[in-house]
């Protein structure tokens, strides 16, 4: 039976976040500070509240391509070691304030090399920022673990190099690999060499697929590239036939359900890019009901004006979820984390205990 859940319980519940972009979660004031210090003059506003509002409105265009254009501003103020460290540190502090206990935050190193930093320097600055944030959170009596996923951009040609960095920094703050960017015209198989190298090296990887493009993108990610998780995957709904009144799964949907391949969904982001028309019709509701391994994520906290708590609240308001429903999302995420079995089990236990306490 569904439990009644309050906003206070949602806020206090321990959370696991698998899909969050570092350059999509900057504090507006930090952007302004960095822009003023570096001479970047193109910010739409130099007032924090107005800047935050601009990002949400600009990203609600209905297309992924226009959504991605807004990142030029955040990327432009993350081009020095000091800037990257500050953004990464504040990311950890903001997630901890939202009671996230484990997060995998991703970013594309190639984007932050405009002023001469190497990819290694970008990665090391990001991990240093995460470490500073985690130490500060621990000093204040809380606990959070934040790891880094390295992205390659599907439209560029550095995925092989980024994959080698994943292996190089494995166990030193980096837990996996991803490809991101526009899907149309840039299939994941363009990066098959990188995926084969990662698999042979025992490294983890996820793939953005089925966010703004069709089922074929997901099929390539799973069947050709061997994706362990799928970023978004909302277009998998197109492989499910509801015409008879009951869900009839196509071969790909059945495969993903049978193998419980983790789907990293982010409802608010998907509404902004036109992947869903409303929260009520977002694919996460029916796919959870059908038993898919669905997780709840923020994607880009600045662009969506969101947090994991807010995403939970929206699902509770939309689908009438109770505490145990929200726990399912968190357990799925804990089990899908790019960690060793012992670490995942410890995380699962933490989620169990935290939700038990929240239900009292």
Query: What are the catalytic residues?
Result: 211
Q: 95 CB contacts (<8 Å, ≥6 apart)? A: 17, 20, 103, 105, 144, 146, 308
How far apart (Å, rounded) are the C-alpha atoms in residues 250 and 176?
A: 29
Alpha-carbon torsion 3, 9, 12, 16, what sign? positive
Length of the chain counted residue by residue:
360
CA atoms of 166 and 178, how far apart (whole Å): 10
* CA–CA dist 261, 221 (Å, integer): 11
| 3-state SS, one letter per residue, for 85-119 | HHHHHHHHHHHHHCCEEEEEEEECHHHHCCCCCCH
Neighbours of 256 (CB within 10 A): 24
Buried b (16+ CB within 10 A) or exposed e, 155-178: ebebbeebbbbbbebbeebbbbbb
Task: Return d(Cα 192, Cα 7) in angstroms, integer.
Answer: 44
CA-angle at 19, arms to 312 and 251, nearest 5°: 95
What are the Cα distances from residue 58, in Å, to 48, 253, 314? 15, 33, 21
The CA angle 82-85-88, to the nearest 5 degrees, is: 150
State phi, psi for 267 to the nearest 5 degrees.
-55, -50
Strand 240-241 vs strand 248-249: parallel, antiparallel, or unpaired? antiparallel
């Amino acid at each position: 039976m569904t439990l009644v859940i309050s906003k206070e319980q949602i806020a206090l519940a321990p959370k696991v976040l698998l899909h969050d972009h570092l350059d999509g979660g900057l504090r507006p004031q930090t952007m302004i500070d960095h822009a003023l210090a570096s001479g970047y003059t193109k910010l739409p506003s130099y007032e924090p509240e107005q800047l935050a509002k601009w990002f949400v409105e600009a990203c609600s265009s209905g297309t992924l391509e226009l959504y991605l254009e807004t990142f030029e501003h955040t990327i432009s103020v993350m081009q020095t070691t000091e800037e990257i460290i500050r953004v990464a540190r504040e990311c950890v502090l903001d997630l901890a304030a939202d009671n996230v206990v484990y997060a995998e935050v991703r970013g594309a190193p190639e984007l932050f090399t405009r002023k001469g930093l190497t990819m290694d320097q970008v990665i090391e600055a990001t991990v240093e920022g995460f470490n500073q944030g985690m130490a500060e959170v621990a000093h204040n009596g809380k606990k959070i673990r934040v790891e880094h996923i390295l992205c390659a951009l599907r439209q560029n040609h550095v995925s092989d190099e980024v994959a080698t960095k994943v292996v190089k920094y494995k166990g030193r703050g980096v837990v996996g690999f991803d490809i991101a960017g526009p899907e149309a015209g840039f299939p994941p198989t363009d990066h098959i060499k990188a995926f084969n190298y990662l698999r042979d090296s025992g490294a983890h990887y996820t793939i953005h697929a089925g966010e703004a493009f069709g089922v074929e993108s997901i099929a390539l990610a799973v069947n050709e590239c061997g994706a362990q998780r799928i970023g978004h995957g909302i277009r998998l709904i197109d492989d499910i036939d509801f015409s008879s009144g009951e869900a009839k799964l196509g071969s790909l949907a059945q495969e993903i359900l049978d193998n419980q391949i983790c789907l990293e969904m982010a409802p608010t982001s998907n509404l902004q890019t036109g992947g869903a028309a409303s929260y009520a019709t977002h694919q996460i509701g029916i796919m959870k009901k059908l038993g898919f391994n669905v997780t709840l994520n923020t994607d880009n906290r600045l662009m969506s004006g969101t947090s994991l708590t807010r995403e939970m609240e929206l699902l509770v308001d939309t689908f009438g979820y109770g505490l145990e429903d929200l726990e399912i999302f968190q357990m799925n995420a804990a089990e899908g984390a790019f960690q060793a079995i012992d670490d995942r089990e410890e995380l699962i236990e933490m989620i169990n205990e935290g939700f038990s306490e929240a239900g009292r």
